[in-house]
Structure 1
Amino acid sequence: MLTEFQKRKLSLRFYMADTSKDGMVELADFEQQGQKVAELIGIQPGSTEYEKIISTYVANWEIYWKPADADGDNKITVDEYLKSADILIAENTGKKTKLRVNKAFFDSIDLDRDGEITLNEYTIYLKAVGRSEEDAKMAFSKIDTNGDGKLSRDEFATALYDYHASNDPQAPANRFFSLY
């Protein structure tokens, strides 16, 4: 069962993903995030690169968020999100699934597709969901556990999993979205 700390942390994540601020997370929120990323790096709608960015955000919705849609209305409430997180965290297989999914999510942030996420790429991602450059710098410094100035696919996946699953208020991964 999720602790109060986890519920608060995950609720903050939910409301950050709700880019339309209507109290629901849906596909349009992820399309909007992808559009913002493209805008921040100067990629024009209709280009191949633009479509790649949008498709990675759509995949994030499909793989990570849509399974939480318990009533099948293609909109996720915070309660649905928390129930889904509770189930995945409680299951031993949840960690393996989350790590696999988190590695796929990595691709939506690795904009140059070089297999690493730089501070610049991470900053663009967080700015697309309403965080500041300063927030991104602080968060990146916490989750770049080996201090090499980039996030590997495994480093990223583990930090994102730990953000969701950790019940330790001091865990560095709690700063993944610079919310805590």
Structure 2
Amino acid sequence: MDADGNGAVDREEFIAGMRRSAAEDEGSYLKRLGAMVEAWMSVCDADDNGLIDQQEFTTMYTRTLGASPEDLAAAFTKLDLNGDGSLDAGEIRRATEEYHTSEDPQAPGNWLFGPF
């Protein structure tokens, strides 16, 4: 992914590399995506009910990314496609796929890690 050969992968190189990976072998990408969503749900779902509520989402990303609770509240609202106050595996999978493949900066999945 280090397109400029500087020994580091910046945000643009990461996004381009992930999109390339998805485009070159979509079947394999989607298989890996399922495993990634399963792992994310397992880590984030503190009460083990199969859903991610806003508190679990906020806890995950304030601790791991240092994101603000206010930014995460906005992100959660965008990701909660059915407006039920929780994220299920389908919503997380769609968001993860959009995050790695969408060219639309307003796509809900591009809020997966907050408004970065």
Structure-2 residue corresponding to 1:85: 18
Structure 2 alignment gaps of length 5 or more: 1-6
Amino acid in the other structure paired with 1:140: F
Task: Determine whether 1:164 maps to 2:100.
Answer: yes
TM-score by length of 1: 0.52
Amino acid in the other structure paired with 1:104: A
Task: Give deviations 1:115-149, integer Å, cap 9, x for gaps.
Answer: 11000000101101110110110000000000000
Task: Give, in angstroms, the shift of residue 102 of structure 1.
Answer: 1.7
Q: Work out the CA distance in 1 between the residues paired with 2:83 and 2:113.
A: 18
CA contact (8 A) 1:143 1:172 kept: yes
Task: Give, in angstroms, the shift of residue 84 of structure 1.
Answer: 4.8
Q: Do the aligned partners of residues 172 and 86 (structure 1) sit closer, same or farther apart at CA in structure 2, a change above 3 Å counting? A: closer
CA contact (8 A) 1:99 1:161 kept: no
Task: Give, in angstroms, the shift of residue 170 of structure 1.
Answer: 2.2
**Which of 58, 79, 85 is matched with 1:123 structurally?**
58
Q: How does 1:130-169 map to 2 (within 5 A)?
A: 130-169=66-105
Task: Give, in angstroms, the shift of residue 113 of structure 1.
Answer: 1.2
Rg larger for: 1
The 4+ residue runs of structure 1 with deviation greater than 2 A are: 81-84
Structure-2 residue corresponding to 1:179: 115
**SS in structure 2 opposite 1:78?**
coil
RMSD: 2.1
Q: Work out the CA distance in 2 between the residues paired with 1:106 and 1:88.
A: 23
Q: Do the aligned partners of residues 77 and 114 (structure 1) sit closer, same or farther apart at CA in structure 2, a change above 3 Å counting? A: farther
Structure-2 residue corresponding to 1:44: none
TM-score by length of 2: 0.77
